[in-house]
Structure 1
Amino acid sequence: MIRVPAEPAGTFPDAWRHCVGTGRLDLALRRDYQDSLALLQREIGFRHIRGHGLFSDGMGIHRPYDHAGTRHVHHSFTHLDQVVDAYLSAGIRPFLELGFMPGGLASGDRTVFWWRGNVTPPRDLAEWAALVRATLAHLVDRYGIDEVRTWPVEVWNEPDLPDFWQDADEQAYHRLYEATAHAVKEVDADLRVGGPALSPGAGEGWLLRFAEFAERRAVPVDFVSRHAYSSGPAQHVPFGVHQTLAPAGRLLDQFAAPRRELKGTRLADVPVHITEFNSSYRPDNPVHDTAFHAAYLAPVVVAGGDLADSFSYWTFSDVFEEAGIPTALFHGGFGLLTHRQVRKPAYHLYAFLARMGRDLLTRGDDHLVTRHPDGRVTVLAWAPVDPSGATPGPDGHTLRLSVPVGGRGEAFLWRLTVDEEHGNAYTAWRRMGSPRSPRPHQIDVLHEASEPARSHRRLPIEDGRVDLPLTLARHEVAFVELSRVEDETPPWWDERRLLGREPA
């Protein structure tokens, strides 16, 4: 029996809500993307959204042209305005990632992803800085300085990897960062700029050298950023991969790394943003679609706020095309949602978090307990998993809590459950025969199968507490809400008379 304290230990950190990832920004022009974002914001409500491709040719911002024998550059914000308008209307703000390189400014033709984001340095650093200034000045003019100051500005993506920055040239990145950061501050000194958005494999030296460079050159750095993944090398199959997974605690180790590495430097106390995290770094790993994934990530999202100012789930939707156009509804995409807004178990993990209270009562290896201002007590509980794959994990997991609800009488219990059989459209889809393009009636079935199981009952209150036993199925994540019953049943009401018969 775990006795939950009656007095809060503080406020539960909501760093999990600060940001969420997205596919390239011009995907926001599509209807299925906007429908998915509207659902996400209605049921979860993230504050910022981050994705690649702001300066890639698909956004059409950098438009060089020749006139009268002279080269000029026109900056066009047609798509950018539509994307940002869509975000703000959905109640979410941009977390701006400045990249990739426009084709007309690139020094080479090396690209990444199916949609060919250019990863070479600018051939003219001054023209790049002008592009940054013009874009931010336009955003300030259109949306107001007070609004845009709330949008963090991150310089590039994973420059420590040659796939994302030509030859992983560290000195070239430092030059890019310096020019970019000064361009940002020229627009407004209070805009927040940071980086270097390192991959998990960057090693400790990269971030430390970035801090030394920033101090040596007096370059502004308002936050530091890195990414976190816990999967091993890809084992390829057609249109997918399989990978080993480290224990989920490895992700928390990566969340903690920046502050550990920057201790004693000028950047020791700046905010830390994990601008991408997930189990697998691949957009075609079926683990993302499973109940296992939700239970695996539960301890990470519950504890991550102790280690970083934000950690951004990569990504909110399977409207995502880095490895090409997906070949099936369920294809191992990063998204919390599939195409057509079918919720995955990991989506429900976040939706359950959105229902938790502000005051933290307690948490442990398999549970989180909070309280709302109106007295409702909420519990998030999850079953342990075996990330090695050596076993399917325990068949069941038992947790027993003594929960303070106050008063006397009875408490109303409301429970939502996601596991291998409930709230799990992936299981239903597999039993359907894994249809690549489900028919309309099959889509309807999958939406229904994605709903969590719901149950309710009354429990007695003794000495202001409820004895709450929870038995969790394999890979289950459960949400429980407890509230005191204020019984307003009329004195004449008698369930035995529903069919008009007088009670014996």
Structure 2
Amino acid sequence: MHKLAMTLLCAAAIQAAAQAPSTNPVSIQVNLAKPVGAYTPIYRWFGYDESNYTTMKYGKQLLGELHDLSPEPVYIRAHHLLTSGNGVAELKWSSSNVFTVDANGKPVYDFTITDKTFDEFQRAGVRPVVELGFMPKDLATKIPGVDEYQVRYPKSTISGASNNPPRDYALWGELVRRYTEHLVQRYGKSEVSSWYFEVWNEPDIAYWHGTPEEYYKLYDYAVDGVRKALPNAIVGGPASTGPASEKASVFLNNFLKHCLNDKSAADGKAIPLDFISFHPKGRPTVVDGHVQMGLANELNAAAKGFSIVASYPKYAHLPIILSEADPEGCAACSMKVNPANAYRNGPLYPAYTATAIKSLFDLRDQYKVDLIAMLSWAFEFEGKEYFEGFRTLSTNGIDKPILNVFRMAGLMSGERVSTNSTGQIPLKDILSSGVRNADDVDALATKGDREAAVMIWDYHDDDVPAVGAQVQVTISGIPSNIKRVLLQHYRIDETHSNSYHVWKAMGSPQEPTQAQYARLKEAGQLELLSSPKWLNVADGKVTIATELPRQATSLLHLKW
């Protein structure tokens, strides 16, 4: 037997022994005839610090894959669209050099570098979230003690003058107007009208070296500039951090009060606000030598933000974009730097994300808000080691397991329908203490046109081997005239849809052969657990039994 095949079989046997299914099966009931709400494609949003990665080899490849995972347009948000520099990406840094001042003090606008980024978005068929930041070098005000413009990682890259307020707010507004005007001229009014314009990033922390009031002024002049160039542009913010903290909560509240009660510093008129954005994050740690996720932190931050938005009658129904929603806060910090980030390569990250998606929908229903986006701050890093442990969707062109849970979500459509699981951890318990005792064995289901999909998972905050679940899924409400349905069962676990597992079995090569690379590419795709099969329908029901290891995620896709 081939050495790699033998290694994979041995690993699978060890995993199966560690995660043998429980003798007490979990019953999941899905009722297709009982809708509970729209299936908004909140999964189709992604972002990254290094906007210049967009035009690089694997960045281009990944953008195409992101486009292909969803029937709905995929949105991309990137930092540093206005930052000064040479257009070369570094960790947590990029630049476009759109604005400089000549020897006579006259502004010079150059869109050469930024055009390459947006052209690549267009070529891939994805849409931008135009994050208006950061401050060009020649426009940044001088702040005592802030002497450098670019501070390089691993130092705090947000400590430089690129995060200073503008020395002239009117000139800042004119830069934004010129930038928006150029985008409209290059890509068309209709196209750019479908984009989102977000002002800055996390101005409640060190990404902004001014006061909250100075940020409000920045916002006013920015949206005024956008709207002068494109009157129907979709504008919003403040892209603040997760409002579970008192400081972030106060910032979000005061920003909304500013938009509601004040007049724009730019034109003295009402302040436009078309969407509200903030950033809920989790908090993984290492406990007794293993990773323990902090799902409760992310969900509590989202819940607090939803409650704040819901408290403003004028804004309660505005779209909410979680423009960074992640297990923790530093995509560019590898697991070599922070061992708690070791969750990123294997099936734990997808299972966490599946649980988060369901929980965010439940919170949306609870607070009656319009959540449209759960943006994953993850892309790829060029020139780094294979599976180095960055928060990425792919590594050197090899898709990681996390990308496959978004492919699963893209196969779901229509309305969310009722699910009930005997293995579910109630949302209130997850919010209070995470998933630290029993596993959360739960489901999210949709019904579309002549199809249905049920995503199921066995999730636990602790990344340790444990007994999995024997699951019995009963799907009712299938139209009475349907006698057979086609089942496609997709799976992410230790040995399915998991390039990391295959890479380790190869001996973790940093220079894989051509044959190894081809095998890794194949292993990175979404994989069927078994061949598609036709199931007989009785009384509008089918029942599907499966074994679900801990940290595994399945999608049961039915067609008729």
Whole-angstrom CA distance in 2 between matches of 1:413 and 1:72: 65
Asked if 1:143 corresponds to 2:187, the answer is yes
Name the SS of the counterpart of 1:415 in structure 2. strand
Whole-angstrom CA distance in 2 between matches of 1:483 and 1:18: 23
Equivalent position to 2:101, from 64, 72, 82: 64
Contact 2:184/2:230 (<8 A) preserved:
no
Contact 2:471/2:548 (<8 A) preserved:
yes
CA shift, 1:272, in A, is 1.3
Matches for 1:109-258 after TM superposition, within 5 Å: 109=148, 111=150, 114=153, 118-162=162-206, 164-166=207-209, 169-200=211-242, 201=245, 202-214=247-259, 215-217=261-263, 218-232=270-284, 244-246=292-294, 248-258=295-305
**Residue of structure 2 equivalent to 1:336:** 393
Contact 2:78/2:131 (<8 A) preserved:
yes
- Letter of the 2:249 counterpart: E
Name the SS of the counterpart of 1:471 in structure 2. strand
After superposition, the C-alpha distances for 1:44-76 in whole angstroms (9 at most, x for unaligned) are: 35431101011012212113211xxx2111111
Name the SS of the counterpart of 1:422 in structure 2. coil
Whole-angstrom CA distance in 2 between matches of 1:160 and 1:112: 20
**Residue of structure 1 equivalent to 2:326:** 278
Seen in structure 2, the aligned counterparts of structure 1 residues 228 and 103 have a Cα distance that, compared at 3 Å, is same
Contact 1:403/1:465 (<8 A) preserved:
yes
220-229 vs 36-45, greater mean Cα deviation: 36-45
Asked if 1:353 corresponds to 2:391, the answer is no
Seen in structure 2, the aligned counterparts of structure 1 residues 121 and 430 have a Cα distance that, compared at 3 Å, is same
State which structure, 1 or 2, has the greater radius of gyration over its C-alpha atoms. Answer: 1
**Residue of structure 2 equivalent to 1:383:** 458
Seen in structure 2, the aligned counterparts of structure 1 residues 479 and 265 have a Cα distance that, compared at 3 Å, is closer
**Residue of structure 2 equivalent to 1:49:** 76
Unaligned runs of 5+ in 2: 1-26, 85-94, 143-147, 264-269, 335-340, 365-369, 425-441
Unaligned runs of 5+ in 1: 236-240, 485-504
Equivalent position to 1:287, from 314, 331, 343: 343
Name the SS of the counterpart of 2:191 in structure 1. helix
Contact 1:228/1:251 (<8 A) preserved:
yes
CA shift, 1:112, in A, is 5.6
Name the SS of the counterpart of 1:114 in structure 2. coil
Whole-angstrom CA distance in 2 between matches of 1:411 and 1:137: 51
CA shift, 1:421, in A, is 1.6
**Residue of structure 2 equivalent to 1:430:** 504
Asked if 1:88 corresponds to 2:122, the answer is yes
Asked if 1:37 corresponds to 2:63, the answer is yes
Alignment TM-score, normalising by the size of structure 1: 0.84
CA shift, 1:132, in A, is 0.6
Whole-angstrom CA distance in 1 between matches of 2:505 and 2:81: 40
Aligned length: 464
**Residue of structure 1 equivalent to 2:54:** 28
After superposition, the C-alpha distances for 1:65-124 in whole angstroms (9 at most, x for unaligned) are: 11xxx2111111112222222212212111110011111222243546639562111122
Seen in structure 2, the aligned counterparts of structure 1 residues 439 and 80 have a Cα distance that, compared at 3 Å, is same
- Letter of the 1:259 counterpart: F
Whole-angstrom CA distance in 2 between matches of 1:183 and 1:216: 18
Whole-angstrom CA distance in 2 between matches of 1:480 and 1:233: 32
Identity of aligned residues (%): 25
When the two chains are superposed, the root-mean-square deviation of aligned CA atoms in Å is 2.7
Contact 2:44/2:75 (<8 A) preserved:
yes
Equivalent position to 1:314, from 376, 381, 387: 376
Identify the structure with bigger relative contact order (alpha carbons < 8 Å, sequence gap 6+).
2
Contact 1:242/1:286 (<8 A) preserved:
no
Asked if 1:104 corresponds to 2:138, the answer is yes
CA shift, 1:242, in A, is 8.9
CA shift, 1:278, in A, is 1.1
Whole-angstrom CA distance in 2 between matches of 1:32 and 1:159: 31
CA shift, 1:265, in A, is 6.2
Contact 1:233/1:243 (<8 A) preserved:
yes
After superposition, the C-alpha distances for 1:238-269 in whole angstroms (9 at most, x for unaligned) are: xxx997522x3443332333331241365343
Whole-angstrom CA distance in 2 between matches of 1:234 and 1:291: 17
Whole-angstrom CA distance in 2 between matches of 1:40 and 1:210: 33
Seen in structure 2, the aligned counterparts of structure 1 residues 397 and 96 have a Cα distance that, compared at 3 Å, is farther
Asked if 1:399 corresponds to 2:490, the answer is no
Name the SS of the counterpart of 1:259 in structure 2. helix
Whole-angstrom CA distance in 2 between matches of 1:408 and 1:314: 38
Contact 2:281/2:328 (<8 A) preserved:
yes
Whole-angstrom CA distance in 1 between matches of 2:373 and 2:322: 4
